[in-house]
Amino acid sequence: MTTDESSGATARLEVADGVGTIRLDRPKMNALDIATQDLLRELAGEATRREDVRAVVLYGGEKVFAAGADIKEMREMDHSAMVLRSRGLQEAFTAVARIPKPVAAAVTGYALGGGCELALCADVRFAGEGAKLGQPEILLGLIPGAGGTQRLSRLVGPAKAKDLIFTGRTVPAAEAARIGLVDHVVPDAEVYEQAHGWAARLARGPALALRAAKESVDFGLEADIETGLALERNWFAGLFATEDRQIGMRSFVEDGPGKARFR
């Protein structure tokens, strides 16, 4: 494994076998202070640019994903300070959501507030059996500010999102799976392994087609159906110019489905 890490950094990008792991490392609870938010944006940009990163895993370690924003830091901010900061907060999380490659969240322990919002930026979420997720900002007299009101409602529907946001309650992994907040519940000790396996499998896939699929779904959901169909149509036709399309079709005809080795 190769590791890109700055001394004392609260997050880092670790790259191995085509998978880049964005690893939070701010003991004890991976609280997402401003410095960590800005670092997440930088790491998302690096994961986007690097050709040796074909898929990404978001991970907070064996004990906790991220327990939310740094409340002590936020407590010192007044209205003017947060007006200036709120855009940077959202931009950091949006940079993760816009990584044009498959992204899995490996959720252990708590994923609350900003931690839950970070998991929402992934394409798929693997949660340990003991994981707990939620948006407890209402208990502070606030609402989610890093995309929670928007991404959560799009993922689980407005009624379930409002229930979580209005009450601030924390839900265990099993309930999170029932409402669609997480996609896979696995033993706690296997969370990263399972998420990394999913990412590694896709890292061997056709990179441009995967990007086309992700952008067609994500941007299509933000537009009307005709715009979404036009986006899909343009990507679909454009992929006929790629070498991976030639490899995939030739392999299908000569060897059967699922055996192509993409470049």
Q: Is 137 an annotated catalytic residue?
A: yes
Residue whose entry in the numeric block shows the structure tokens 């407590």 = 75
How far from 186 is each of 36, 37, 86, 125, 135, CA to CA, in Å? Answer: 28, 28, 34, 11, 22
* Element housing 130 (H / E): none
Residue 95, both tokens: 């940079």
Residue of 66, 67, 111, 117 marked catalytic: 117
Alpha carbons within 13 angstroms on the beta-carbon side of residue 152 total: 29
Residue of 18, 68, 114, 128 marked catalytic: 114
Bond from prior residue into 28 cis (ω within 30 degrees of 0)? yes
Q: Is 117 an annotated catalytic residue?
A: yes
Residue of 60, 127, 137, 207 marked catalytic: 137
Q: Is 69 an annotated catalytic residue?
A: yes
Alpha carbons within 13 angstroms on the beta-carbon side of residue 256 total: 0
How far from 132 is each of 52, 203, 206, CA to CA, in Å? Answer: 33, 29, 34
Residue of 11, 44, 69, 104 marked catalytic: 69
- HEC string of 172-212 equals EHHHHHHHCCCCEEECHHHHHHHHHHHHHHHHCCCHHHHHH
Vertex 3: Cα angle to 70 and 198 (nearest 5): 80
Q: Is 114 an annotated catalytic residue?
A: yes
Catalytically active residues, by annotation:
69, 114, 117, 137
